[in-house]
Amino acid sequence: MKELDRAGSLEPSGVSARSFLLGVDVGGTFTDAVLLGAGRVFRAKLPTTADQSEGVIAAARLVLERAGVDAVSVEWFGHGMTTATNALLERKGARTAAVATAGFRDILEIGRQNRPRLYDLCPQRPSPLVERKMRLAANERVTPEGEVKPLLKEEMARVAAELKNLKPEAVAVCLLFSFLDPSHEQSLGSLLRKELPGVHISLSSQILPKFREYERFSTTAVDAYLTPVVSRCLKKLEWRSKKAGLPEPAIMQSNGGVLPLHEASGRAAPLLLSGPAAGVVGALFAGALSSVDNMIALDMGGTSTDVTLIGNGSANLTDEREIGSFPVALPIMDVHTIGAGGGSIARVDAGGALKAGPESAGARPGPACYGNGGTNATVTDANLCLGYLGGSLGGNGWVKLYPHLAAGAMKRLAAELEMGLEEAALGVRQVADAEMVKALRVISVERGHDPRQFVLAAFGGAGPMHAADLARELGISKVLVPASCGVLSAMGMVAGDRRRDWVMTVLNPQGWSGRTLREAFRKLEDISAAAGMSGASFVRQADLRYKGQSHELTVRVGQPYSRARLSAVFEKAHENAYGFSFKGEDVELVNVRLAAVVALGHLRGKAAASVWNKTAGRKQGAPEGQRPAFFDGEWLSTQIWRRERVGGRRIAGPAVIEEDEATTVVPPGWAAFFDKVENLWLEAV
Amino acid sequence: MIDQITLQVVSSAFRSICEEMGAALIRASFSTNIKERRDCSAALFDAKGELIAQAEHIPVHLGAMPDAVAAVIPEKPAAGDIFILNDPFRGGTHLPDITMVAPVEAGGRIIAYAANRAHHADVGGIQPGSMPAASVRLDEEGVVIPPTRLVAGGRLEEEILASLLRGMRRPRERRGDLEAQAGACRIAERRLQELIDSKTLSVVMAAMETAMDYSERRMRAAIAALPDGVYRTEDFLERDGADLKIAVTVTIEGEEILIDFKGTSPQEKGNLNCPMAVTRSACHFVLGAVTDPDIPPNAGALRPVHITAPAGSLVNALPPAAVAAGNVETSQRIADAVALALSKVLPLPAQGQGTMNNVTLGSEEGRTAFNYYETIGGGAGGCPETEGTSGIHVGMTNTLNTPVEALELTFPLRVERYELRLGSGGDGKHRGGDGLIRSLMMLAPARLSLLCDRRRRTRPARQKPGERKRGSRKSVDGAGGRGRGHDGNTGRRWIRSTRGVIELQPPKLVRNVKIDASGGPLNL
């Protein structure tokens, strides 16, 4: 019922003159905005600000200004963020305490008792997010048979008092069997909210109401640790967007779905991979337009690079991921992230080896060439020294670049390495490339996928600058550089399918029928409609298993609803996945899942691409000019093109194609051309 | 000639196939020991039975599986067959570990074998859970299965299966797990066929060879980097009466290594005996850890390693020796001993808890019949640079724990406590990790069996005199206990022995079993 009440407060969509879709994605270095409407795409990129919401609104204003429309024209505002991931990886979350059932306060530390790497004689675990002195025990116990030890008022008061002394900013409440009976967690939660005002409380029964205590507690601890940080950010954003006259932002979740801000801000765990998920959605959109089903998405920004394998037009969702070695058992897009990007700082380590990253110069001071006081040589400085970048990012002057500062920083590094400037710059680039190749191999070669059967989809400000070299390294012969590649994550937010997911656990998994399915889906569909997903198409799924198993298989549910029919679908899926079916055994229905998908953005994005294609895209022109760039050990005279002036040509490398938010490098041996939907292709010749 | 990328794609694909085989088995299985604790392993072998690839599962399984395939090959397996076995003297290790081996056919001949091994919650015998503390003969430990064609030409031999199940407890669950093992073999076979379809048979075959040669080169280089010499040591397993000795001599000579167990105690009356496969497993585990853990583990990596042990000794036992604990406890000590010998020339950590703390609880009585098996982690030894980790599995196992919630949903018992045993790790420059406390309360009659070690000899090697870590101990509350070698202690019995069987009988059903796992000792 709560779902319905909350949804009721949502503004109905599509009744005003609001007809533009706005997407803003915040990365570690840059904040990107895309505005989609009137068959056009508008883009903006600005440095990420310390208070991220400031940059979000600034980017939104800029893109609105470029389109010449007001905030009131914005129908929908999607937002992707990296706040949660960064806070977790950098261990900059809230001071977190935990309350566990007495006798079990170390679950968060013991984990599953195994060592992460088999042949490691000195296995090390990261220190838990909640250290032992912050972990309290509550005298209470629930078992599968019900409560065996009540949680008394005095005990709750004692726990609350002890917690107060610990001065936490967040508390994770992790009691055994709360997924069966959440009452102890709920009463403790409400007392703590009263007694510790301003302290965020995460209940494991709310975050992940499923059995297996370690995975549930870990997800809950991650949520508690991050929510204060994330909700501070989102509150500011809410306030600023209201002030700017924008609609309530919808926040991208790790699974590619979206949630309205007021629902998202109380729970950080599902937002862990918000930004990277937006990138995947963007890549899926671009790939669909160009009819590419199998691709490896490479999203290289200033701070980090995300790589994702996309097979048969979809990315894998997994709930068995660890992030920063902490299990987060919520559905997450299977994105692999490494700490190397354009802003990665190059240095010589103790052993004399050249390293790039994971430290990043960020947007401020940024690479040395930004002229904001940065003195460290970065990957971007290397690209400038090699002639791949010109006098400004994207060649349009929005971030002016100072070649002499890049050269100065690179000379210092070169002196340390006792080598020439070009050699050092090339070295920095190659070291960063090697890191990215490693990441690309992890998701392809190491999982038995041949990268040569995939297209490399390169985006993010720096992706297209490195893509051809990376592709060559992996034997990939085709690179897709999507339209709006520099801001594709923001594009994904507005042009991708808008999805929301609902799950309902079936109370009696054995005694189900077609009617159980019909009623469950009807209820979920009502919730979806009330949440403003009108006009959505539905994907109906169910999690099933044989009695006695504890892992479920998720299968599509067709109509008419019937137990016999769904059981048959399950048996077939079981045979496919596990090599057998257990004939004649009972099939249990565990969960019913509904995904509501609104393809609105997708349609408009498609329309925009085709309109754009007919107008701006086909404008032919001449190269902007040329400059020397360093390829394969020599300086070659290289044509510099504006992306929108390439038109129907096939450009042979060496060439550099600049657009406002990104730069594409076409090395010798590669050719570049556009397809019908304004996506740029690089092809090995 | 295959290009580098193809070679790497195909060899990674071998490994992903093993991983998928393992994942399919875990997800489709029915018993807690497989679906929650993941006590299972998967590997691929070539037509000669040489290991091509394996997933990172359980060390004691992995090094021993080649023997299973070797035992199946003489039975002339054909496409569509799946063999089953657990006989420790014909390809197995101890009876609960049941192995399935499926040939893969391409181009009209067998080109590979897919194999997986899972520890079953029960395979019959004198004690529910089939990990008896007191067995003296193999047939007391459960059903002995020689290599047997369970699936013939794609058809399950129902009668054979039924006769196997008759000797085991909880036959429906057993059947489900066995079907899951066979299914996982089929998945591996399908994936290998798909790989052949996309890369051609000759490329796949060539990749098998090349991958082994590559691992051999890397292993030879890694051994060459170790200082030549002869390193001897001994270590002990506790036994009422005289302790059992593991004597090991490690000879490093250029690119090759010889590990010999001359001087080890003869095989014993109890069940600490190991078939040679287990001994090899323990040696390969240590070598994997001390050389380069990134060397792809396959038959090539094993070529420069030679392992010998006197026939009829504790580490190369002959039938009809009982072996239940050899796989879990003796294997730990063999690994400890080999590492200890090498620690004379390599900066290795101190020994860890050196036991798996095997707890088996079960009952055969009607409605509440159950079998529960668990191994309990302890402290890892202090490391050259860091403290030892607490509450973790060391050595020859890496199973997960049974989640408290999974356990209570399945078995008639309640977990009272599962916490770190603070201060139990050895003190020193780099402290050893702390052990664990796991207390269980029975809600139904049951028989408890414990197999563990390092209880009296709480000062393992490489510890300074005068500094002790706390050994592991087990206790059972209440009256009615019948344990071996425990001392009475006002209603609480500490079982001083490393093994014990205790009947927990009505009318007083509530019995509290507390297992304090030991901490790891310090590093010098």
Does the pLDDT of residue B170 top 60, yes or no? yes
- Residue A611 — pLDDT band, cuts 50, 70, 90? low
Nearest to A101 by CA among A205, A30, A200, A193: A205
Of B63 and A557, the one with more pLDDT: A557
Per DSSP (E only), the strands in B213-264 are 229-237, 244-253, 256-260
Does the pLDDT of residue A3 top 70, yes or no? no
Domain regions of chain B by residue span? 4-214, 349-524
- Which pairs with CB-CB distance under 8 Å and at least 24 residues apart come from A162-165? A162/A136, A163/A97, A163/A99, A163/A136, A163/A192, A163/A195, A163/A196, A163/A199, A164/A195, A164/A196
Average pLDDT, integer, range A640-647 = 88
Q: How far is A454 from chain B (nearest CA, A)?
A: 13
Does the pLDDT of residue B507 top 60, yes or no? no
DSSP state of A644: G
Q: How long is chain A?
A: 685
**pLDDT value, residue B113:** 98
ipTM of the complex: 0.91
Does the pLDDT of residue B57 top 80, yes or no? yes
Backbone angles phi, psi at A381, to 5 degrees: -60, -40
Task: Assess A452–B contact: CB distance below 8 Å, yes or no.
Answer: yes
Nearest to B56 among A118, A125, A179 (CB): A118
- For chain A, the 3-state helix, strand and coil shares in percent, each to the nearest 5, are 40, 25, 35
A665 CB-near residues (< 8 Å, 6+ apart): A388, A464, A465, A466, A467, A468, A469, A629, A656
- Residue B210 — pLDDT band, cuts 50, 70, 90? very high
Task: Assess A534–B contact: CB distance below 8 Å, yes or no.
Answer: no
Among A residues 193-232, those touching chain B with beta carbons less than 8 Å apart: 211-214
- Is the pTM higher than 0.80? The answer reads yes
Does the pLDDT of residue B482 top 70, yes or no? no
Distance, in Å, from the CA atom of A182 to the CA atom of B484, rounded to the nearest integer, reads 43
Domain ranges in chain A with CATH number 3.30.1490: 498-598
Degrees, nearest 5: CA angle B476-B479-B482: 65
Lowest mean pLDDT among B147-156, B170-179, B485-494: B485-494
**Burial of B3 per CB tally in 10 Å (0-12, 13-18, 19+):** exposed
**Taking CA atoms, what residue in B is nearest to A444?**
B9
Distance, in Å, from the CA atom of A276 to the CA atom of B483, rounded to the nearest integer, reads 58
Q: Tokens 């989102």 sit at which residue?
A: A234
Distance, in Å, from the CA atom of A280 to the CA atom of A256, rounded to the nearest integer, reads 8
**pLDDT value, residue A620:** 67
**pLDDT value, residue A610:** 60
Strand partners, A142: A147
Average pLDDT, integer, range A519-533 = 92
**Tens of pLDDT along A557-575?**
999 999 999 999 999 999 9
- Residue B468 — pLDDT band, cuts 50, 70, 90? very low
**CA atoms in the 13 A half-sphere facing the CB of A284:** 27
* A8-30: b (≥16 Cβ within 10 Å) or e: eebeebeeeebebbbbbbbbbbb
**Tens of pLDDT along A667-679?**
999 999 999 888 9
**pLDDT value, residue A15:** 33
Task: Assess B512–A contact: CB distance below 8 Å, yes or no.
Answer: no
Per DSSP (E only), the strands in A571-624 are 587-598
DSSP state of B498: S
Domain ranges in chain A with CATH number 3.30.420.40: 11-87+231-271
Per-range mean pLDDT, top range of A435-449, A545-559, B375-389: A545-559
Task: Tell me, rounded to whole angstroms, the distance of Cα B342 from its chain centroid.
Answer: 22
A320 CB-near residues (< 8 Å, 6+ apart): A327, A329
DSSP code string of A108-159: HHHTTS--SSTT-SS---PPPSS-GGGEEEE--EEETTEEEE---HHHHHHH
In this structure, are strands B473-477 and B492-495 parallel, antiparallel, or unpaired?
antiparallel
A558 CB-near residues (< 8 Å, 6+ apart): A565, A566, A569
Per DSSP (E only), the strands in B266-396 are 305-308, 358-363, 370-375
Nearest to A580 among B179, B386, B439 (CB): B179
**pLDDT value, residue A498:** 85
Q: Which CATH number describes the domain made up of A11-87+231-271?
A: 3.30.420.40
Strand partners, B257: B252, B305
- Residue A90, SS3? coil
- Residue B489 — pLDDT band, cuts 50, 70, 90? very low
Contact A113 B391 (CB under 8 A): yes
Distance, in Å, from the CA atom of A204 to the CA atom of A219, rounded to the nearest integer, reads 8
> For chain A, how long is the longest CA-to-CA vector?
80
Contact B182 A579 (CB under 8 A): yes
**Taking CA atoms, what residue in A is nearest to B176?**
A582
In this structure, are strands A670-674 and A662-666 parallel, antiparallel, or unpaired?
unpaired
Contact list in B for residue A211 (CB cut-off 8 A) is 403, 405-406, 409
* B183-218: b (≥16 Cβ within 10 Å) or e: bbbbbbbbbbeebbeebeeebbbbbbeebbebbbeb
- Residue B316, SS3? strand
- Residue B186 — pLDDT band, cuts 50, 70, 90? very high
Among B residues 341-400, those touching chain A with beta carbons less than 8 Å apart: 348-349, 376-377, 380, 383-386, 388-394, 398-400
Average pLDDT, integer, range A420-425 = 93
**pLDDT value, residue A123:** 87
Give percent of chain A with pLDDT exceeding 70: 95
Task: Tell me, rounded to whole angstroms, the distance of Cα B372 from its chain centroid.
Answer: 17
Of A395 and B436, the one with more pLDDT: B436
Distance, in Å, from the CA atom of A533 to the CA atom of A500, rounded to the nearest integer, reads 8
Give percent of chain A with pLDDT exceeding 90: 70
- Residue A198, SS3? coil
Q: How long is chain B?
A: 524
Task: Assess A578–B contact: CB distance below 8 Å, yes or no.
Answer: yes
**pLDDT value, residue A395:** 58
Three-state helix/strand/coil letters over A258-277: EEEHHHHCCCCHHHCCHHHH
Does the pLDDT of residue A391 top 90, yes or no? no
Structure tokens at A284: 């899926």
Nearest to A252 by CA among A23, A594, A537: A23
Among B residues 418-437, those touching chain A with beta carbons less than 8 Å apart: 418-420, 436
Contact A551 B13 (CB under 8 A): no
**pLDDT value, residue B515:** 64
Backbone angles phi, psi at A142, to 5 degrees: -115, 140
Does the pLDDT of residue B459 top 50, yes or no? no
- Residue B236, SS3? strand
Distance, in Å, from the CA atom of B439 to the CA atom of A518, rounded to the nearest integer, reads 45
Of A187 and A390, the one with more pLDDT: A187
Distance, in Å, from the CA atom of A635 to the CA atom of A657, rounded to the nearest integer, reads 18
Distance, in Å, from the CA atom of A98 to the CA atom of A171, rounded to the nearest integer, reads 5
Strand partners, B520: none
**pLDDT value, residue B432:** 85
B138 CB-near residues (< 8 Å, 6+ apart): B88, B95, B144, B319, B320, B321, B322, B323
Task: Tell me, rounded to whole angstroms, the distance of Cα B227 from its chain centroid.
Answer: 30
Average pLDDT, integer, range A60-76 = 94
In this structure, are strands A655-659 and A634-642 parallel, antiparallel, or unpaired?
parallel
C-alpha separations of B450 from B169, B236, B357, B471, B483 in Å: 19, 19, 7, 15, 10
Cα end-to-end span (Å), chain B? 51
Does the pLDDT of residue B347 top 50, yes or no? yes
Contact B180 A446 (CB under 8 A): no
Distance, in Å, from the CA atom of B85 to the CA atom of B69, rounded to the nearest integer, reads 10
DSSP state of A385: H
Cis peptide before B320 (omega within 30 of 0): yes
Distance, in Å, from the CA atom of A566 to the CA atom of B138, rounded to the nearest integer, reads 46
How many Cβ atoms are within 10 Å of A585's Cβ, its own excluded?
A: 17
Amino acid at A354: L
Chain B contact probe: residue of A109, A112, A294, A544 with most B CBs at under 10 A: A112
**Tens of pLDDT along A295-320?**
999 999 888 899 999 998 889 888 88
Q: Tokens 């040489």 sit at which residue?
A: B50
**pLDDT value, residue B517:** 61
Among B residues 265-294, those touching chain A with beta carbons less than 8 Å apart: 285, 288-290, 293
**pLDDT value, residue A174:** 97
Give percent of chain B with pLDDT exceeding 70: 86
DSSP state of B421: E
Average pLDDT, integer, range A231-257 = 95
**Tens of pLDDT along A276-289?**
999 999 999 999 99
Chain A contact probe: residue of B7, B20, B30, B284 with most A CBs at under 10 A: B30
Contact list in B for residue A553 (CB cut-off 8 A) is 27
Does the pLDDT of residue B18 top 60, yes or no? yes
Q: How far is B269 from chain A (nearest CA, A)?
A: 32
Q: Tokens 């899942």 sit at which residue?
A: A593
Amino acid at B507: P
Does the pLDDT of residue A650 top 80, yes or no? yes
Task: Assess A577–B contact: CB distance below 8 Å, yes or no.
Answer: yes
Q: How far is B394 from chain A (nearest CA, A)?
A: 8
Task: Assess A133–B contact: CB distance below 8 Å, yes or no.
Answer: no
Q: Which CATH number describes the domain made up of A498-598?
A: 3.30.1490
Is the CA virtual torsion A354, A360, A363, A366 positive or negative? Answer: negative
